[in-house]
């Protein structure tokens, strides 16, 4: 029997591009985008996923398991060249299975008046949401919920896997994905990991994109980056964000709505070279051959031809 032929090695960027239906190639075509980097992550072994479920008494959905069995986490970044300086702008991150850690509601010194715990903050800010089926019940920092960090968001918040209505000794099911902002307020994103992965791709990993689904909304700086690289996505987020910051879209989130006006910026003009700017800033030369009109003093007229002839005779 002949030896099996080795399959060609595929780079992490190519694998990620296939999983995301060509988002890498789409970014490469945008003006100013450089240095798209995808960190190589090998698939997680199945026993690691099973041991995580047993340790935390939670049953992960099939799409989450399939993701970790394909790649153990994700880290994709891309930069732009702005004013002749490379600056990292986009970042898509999903923690490895080993870093999918539980958010602790208590600490060794928590529970005192000087150092309240998350459970104390949760009880102080709790609102009555019973009887309202349109608003998802928010997670709790106490034993009623099990919360795990999916994306640290570089300190601007946390994207979390949430299992609600948990009981001691009973494996938790029914995972949801929520965003915990800097003010420790919960904002519902989706109840499907596949949908969240799609949302992250559609927003290109732009800074603070999760705030588009909160009451706070995007900052002015974040809106400018969206206007440059994802104007259609920004317009749809502003339309679909409901009064509670929920995602209320019914159409395909990938399709743009041409009826929504957006501020369009031309990246070709923003990232213009200095030579082009200097050439336009140079003053225009005056055309030759033009005579300037003589200025006359007010109240005085030019002498006539007769008066000039008289003075000549004398």
pLDDT tens per residue across span 28-86: 888 888 889 989 889 999 999 999 999 999 999 999 999 999 999 999 999 998 778 88
Instruction: Please name the residues in contact with 58: beta carbons below 8 A apart, sequence gap of 6 or more.
Output: 146, 148, 163, 171, 172, 173, 175
Domain membership of residue 51 (yes or no) is yes
Domain membership of residue 108 (yes or no) is no
In the predicted structure, residue 263 carries a pLDDT above the cut 60: no
Q: What percent of the chain has pLDDT over 70?
A: 63
Domain membership of residue 200 (yes or no) is yes
Structural domain harbouring 142? 12-102+138-241
In the predicted structure, residue 206 carries a pLDDT above the cut 70: yes
In the predicted structure, residue 207 carries a pLDDT above the cut 60: yes
pLDDT for position 110? 45
pLDDT for position 162? 97
d(CA 236, CA 254): 10
Which CATH number does the domain housing residue 229 bear?
3.40.1580.10
Residues 106-127 have a mean pLDDT of 54
pLDDT for position 194? 94
Residues 190-207 have a mean pLDDT of 94
pLDDT for position 17? 73
Residues 282-302 have a mean pLDDT of 50
Domain membership of residue 230 (yes or no) is yes
Domain membership of residue 110 (yes or no) is no
Per-residue confidence at 282, pLDDT binned at 50, 70, 90? low
> Average pLDDT over the chain, rounded to whole?
76
């Amino acid at each position: 029997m002949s030896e099996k032929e080795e399959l060609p090695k595929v780079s992490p960027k190519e694998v990620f591009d296939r999983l995301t239906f060509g988002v890498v190639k789409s970014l490469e075509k945008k003006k100013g985008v450089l240095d798209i980097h995808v960190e190589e992550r090998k698939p997680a072994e199945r026993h690691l996923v099973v041991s995580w479920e047993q340790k935390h008494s939670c049953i992960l959905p099939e799409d989450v398991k399939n993701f970790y069995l394909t790649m153990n986490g994700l880290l994709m970044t891309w930069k732009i060249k702005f004013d002749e300086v490379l600056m990292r702008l986009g970042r898509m991150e999903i923690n490895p299975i080993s870093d999918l850690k539980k958010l602790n509601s208590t600490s060794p010194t928590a529970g005192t008046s000087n150092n309240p715990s998350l459970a104390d903050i949760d009880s102080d800010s709790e609102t009555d949401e019973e009887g309202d089926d349109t608003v998802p019940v928010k997670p709790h920092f106490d034993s009623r919920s099990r919360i795990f960090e999916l994306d640290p968001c570089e300190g601007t918040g946390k994207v979390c896997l949430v299992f609600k209505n948990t009981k001691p000794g009973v494996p938790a099911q029914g995972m949801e994905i929520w965003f915990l902002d800097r003010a420790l307020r919960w904002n519902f994103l989706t109840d499907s990991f596949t949908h969240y992965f799609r949302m992250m791709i559609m927003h290109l990993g732009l800074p603070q994109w999760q705030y588009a689904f909160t009451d706070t909304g995007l900052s002015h700086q974040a809106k400018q980056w969206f206007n440059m690289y994802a104007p259609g996505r920004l317009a749809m987020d502003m339309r679909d964000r409901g009064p509670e910051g929920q995602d209320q879209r019914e159409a395909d989130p990938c399709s743009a709505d041409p009826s929504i006006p957006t501020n369009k910026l031309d990246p070709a003009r923003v990232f213009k070279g200095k030579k082009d700017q200097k050439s336009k800033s140079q003053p225009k030369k005056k055309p030759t051959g033009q005579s300037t009109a003589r200025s006359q003093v007010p109240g005085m007229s030019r002498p006539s031809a007769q008066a000039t002839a008289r003075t000549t005779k004398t």
